[in-house]
Amino acid sequence: MSNLYDKAYEQSINDPDGFWGDIAKECHWYKKWDKVLDDSNKPFYRWFTGAETNTCYNAVDLHVDNGIGDQDAIIYDSPVTDTIKKYTYSELKEIVSKFAGVLKSKGVEKGDRVVIYMPMIPEAVFAMLSCARLGAVHSVVFGGFAANELATRIDDAKPKVIVSASCGIEVKKIIKYKPLLDEAIDLSTFKPDACILFQRPQAEAGMIEGRDFDWNDEMEKAVPQDCVPVKATDPLYILYTSGTTGQPKGVVRDNGGHMVALKWTMGAIYGVNQGDVYWAASDIGWVVGHSYIVYGPLFKGCTTIIFEGKPVGTPDASVFWRIISQHKISTLFTAPTAFRAIKREDPQAKLMEDFDLSSFKYLFLAGERLDPDTLTWAENCLKIPVIDHWWQTETGWAIAANCVGLHSFDIKPGSPTKAAPGWNMAVLGDDGNPIKPGDIGAIVAKLPLPPGTLPTLWQNDERFKDAYLNEFPGYYETADAGFIDEDGYIFVMARTDDIINVAGHRLSTGAMEEVIAAHPDVAECAVMGVADQLKGQIPLGMMVLNAGVDRDHDEIVKEVILQMRNKIGPVAAFKTAVVVKRLPKTRSGKILRGTMQSIADKKDYKVPATIDDYSILDEIKESLGTIGYGSKA
């Protein structure tokens, strides 16, 4: 017996024009499309060619025109500054139209680029929407990024204007942005015409006469701007993601397909409706922030949360429960690492008992692989569906998910469930041919990709093909490895370069991490393959223990090794693990397995610009030295 998911999936694959064309009717268009899917220039597929629209109108003005202007659009919750502030859709329209006037006064027109280098404050969202209002292309760079990384993005995007703030706040530490911004502009070959600075009370930025302008001063004299119609295929934003060459890749998102896909996902995947309060606990510097702090919820007419804080430490591991209770959150989307941090600090979830979570319907997790232990802990504590889903910066929305707005499937731990409608997925072997269910290979998506995904890289079509399309002609290469089982459930086991070869056996580091994470004393872990003269590679485990565990570390390591032998088998050759205080991560929560592997193998490595704390690498070197790897202490 078919369900809504089955019907939607079948139509999306067999009749994409009909499927996405019907969904697109929910959006506002100044001019309707000539074609839903334009395949005239393969492999550069385009959606809704000939149509004209405006992303800001669909995210803001449309709701005011439809009579919900008094509803909250944004709730800014900042435990680091002890601030809660709310903005209705009408207020949002007024602010955004005025800041669009500020940008216009500095020469910003349709097609111009604007770099946004800001912390998690409402003004960052205002700037994004103002760019969209004018038809300008925004490129958000994570606030506090190193100057040289910001400089490479300035040189690639060539922004007419940069919008920034005087500082960001990392728990209790003030990060001054202006010195980093000034250095980046000095380093870059391309120079912006102007910088607009939002001065925060925690730190005042020095201004350069003639180039730097104060946000508030400019807003006082700004002339509000109406929305500018743009082509559906015009770029909305550029978001840079790390490249293997060290040169970041500028992922492009268009206006039309992006709007259609994201508005649909809010109901179909996340199960939310207009008026619901939706929270993506991420940062606007990442794709999650673009898709599900800003655009998706606002397209749908939801209330979205801008959270300036951390899952622990602002002030403690109860902050998520406080926000859910206080703002009546229906759906939370965050990274597994956030819940591992909460679990580590409060293993029995005692802090949850003080809050009313009756509004809370769904927890969605993504950004890295969800280990079954974290999944089980969250399910047991929350008593609501905990849903793993899988997507990438490039895709803009979920490749695979339990689409609760269509049909809720049984959960299989370790799997983000089935391919979302629009995604025709396969697993290929090294020879490019499909392999049988259950076997690990390269996970790929058959072209064309659905709307809302990247049509290309910014001004670099050849690199787009080299990075994603050439390895398996006719498919998009996700660079993730895993398998699809007999029921169509997708299991993402590791990045393709995290499948290790132990004496000729291809083994998943993700599967090994599941075994370690199942140990009751382990809060989080990472496994990487390190060089071995006999076997080629052998697995090495790194473990962070739960708060309050005071058992002998050697005993815990022995237990983990025994678990691995029982679950994976002797073929894994898992004999070495070490307890560490913490794991190196990016600011978005991804564990830097490759960096740790390079340290263990005594190879040179490039420290990622997104690392949360550089001092962790010294701790890792010291820990690895005690077991004979890396730089000895």
The CB-side HSE value for 517 (13 A sphere, CA atoms) comes to: 26
**Residue of 630 and 215 predicted with greater confidence:** 215
Does residue 491 lie within any of the structural domains? no
Residue-level pLDDT at 591: 83
Lowest mean pLDDT among 183-192, 407-416, 465-474, 609-618: 609-618
Mean pLDDT of 435-462: 96
**210 in helix, strand or coil?**
coil
In this structure, are 449 and 514 located in the same domain?
A: no
How confident is the model at residue 244, as a pLDDT? 47
Mean pLDDT within 214-235? 98
- Identify the band that residue 633 occupies on the pLDDT scale cut at 50, 70 and 90: very low
Judge whether residue 243 has pLDDT over 80.
no
Note whether 463 and 558 are same-domain residues: no
Report which listed range, 387-401, 586-600, 612-626, is most confident: 387-401
Q: Please give the pLDDT value at position 8.
A: 98
Averaged pLDDT, 324-330 = 98
State residue 617's pLDDT score. 85
Residue finishing a domain among 482, 517, 533: 482
Question: Looking at the structure, do residues 469 and 580 belong to the same domain, yes or no?
Answer: no
Same domain, 213 and 264: yes
Of 520, 337, 496, 485, which Cα lies nearest the Cα of 413?
485
- Residues 478, 513, single domain; the answer is no
Buried b (16+ CB within 10 A) or exposed e, 202-234: ebebeeeeeebbebeebbeebeebebbbbbbbb
27 or 588, higher pLDDT = 27
What percent of the chain stands above pLDDT 70? 95
Could you tell me whether strands 230-231 and 249-254 are parallel, antiparallel, or unpaired per DSSP bridges?
Answer: unpaired
Nearest alpha-carbon partner for 450 in 139, 12, 3 = 12
Q: Is 448 a residue whose pLDDT tops 90?
A: yes
In a domain, 369, yes or no: no
Specify the residue for token string 């790897």: 629
Which amino acid is residue 222, in one-letter code? A
Model confidence over 166-195: pLDDT tens digits?
999 988 899 999 999 999 999 999 999 999
Whole-number pLDDT of residue 324: 98
Single out the residue in 448, 482, 516 at which a domain terminates. Answer: 482
Contact 494, 508 (CB under 8 A): yes
Same domain for 80 and 130, yes or no, is yes
**269 and 181 within one domain:** yes
pLDDT at 612: 63
Number of domains in the chain: 2
Percent of the chain with pLDDT over 90: 76
Q: Which tokens belong to 75?
A: 């709730």
73 and 180 in a common domain: yes
Question: How does the average pLDDT of the chain come out, rounded?
Answer: 92
Is residue 78 in some structural domain? Answer: yes
Average pLDDT in the 623-629 region? Answer: 81
Residue 316 lies in a domain: no
How much is the average pLDDT of 108-127? 98
| pLDDT tens per residue across span 121-168 | 999 999 999 999 999 999 999 887 788 889 999 999 999 999 999 999
* 288-308 pLDDT tens trace: 999 999 999 999 999 999 999
| Domain identity same for 163 and 242 | yes
* Domain membership flag for residue 49: yes
* Better-predicted residue by pLDDT, 61 or 373: 61
pLDDT digits (tens, 9 = 90+) for 577-587: 999 999 988 76
> Residue 321 domain-assigned?
no
CATH of the domain at 275: 3.40.50.12780
Phi, psi of 64 (to 5 degrees): -65, -45
Count of residues in the chain: 633
* Beta strands 113-118 and 161-165, pairing class: parallel
Do residues 389 and 401 lie in contact, with contact meaning Cβ atoms separated by under 8 Å? yes
Tokens of 175: 């990060």
CA dihedral 352, 355, 361, 366 (to 10 degrees): -40
Last residue of a domain, one of 482, 516, 542: 482
Question: How does residue 609 score in pLDDT terms, banded at 50, 70 and 90?
Answer: low
Asked if residue 320 belongs to a domain, the reply is: no
Segment 20-41 mean pLDDT? 98
Residues 477 and 508 grouped into a single domain: no
Residues 433 and 519 in one domain: no
Contacts of residues 8-16 at CB distance under 8 Å and 24 or more positions apart, as own/partner, are: 8/268, 8/403, 8/406, 8/421, 9/418, 9/419, 9/421, 11/421, 12/421, 12/422, 12/450, 13/422, 13/424, 16/422, 16/448, 16/450
Question: For position 531, which CATH number holds?
Answer: 3.30.300.30
Q: Is residue 305 part of a domain?
A: yes
**Domain range holding 539?**
503-625
Token readout for 505 is 């056996």
**Between 429 and 145, the higher pLDDT residue:** 429
| pLDDT, position 93 | 98
Residue 246: pLDDT over 60:
no
- Torsion of Cα atoms, 349 then 351 then 353 then 354, to 10°: -170
Q: Look at residue 610 in the predicted model and tell me its pLDDT.
A: 64
Whether residue 265 has pLDDT greater than 60? yes
Report phi then psi at 483, rounded to 5. Answer: -150, 165
pLDDT tens digits, one per residue of 523-572: 999 998 888 777 678 899 999 999 889 999 999 999 999 998 887 777 77
Does residue 514 share a domain with residue 478? no
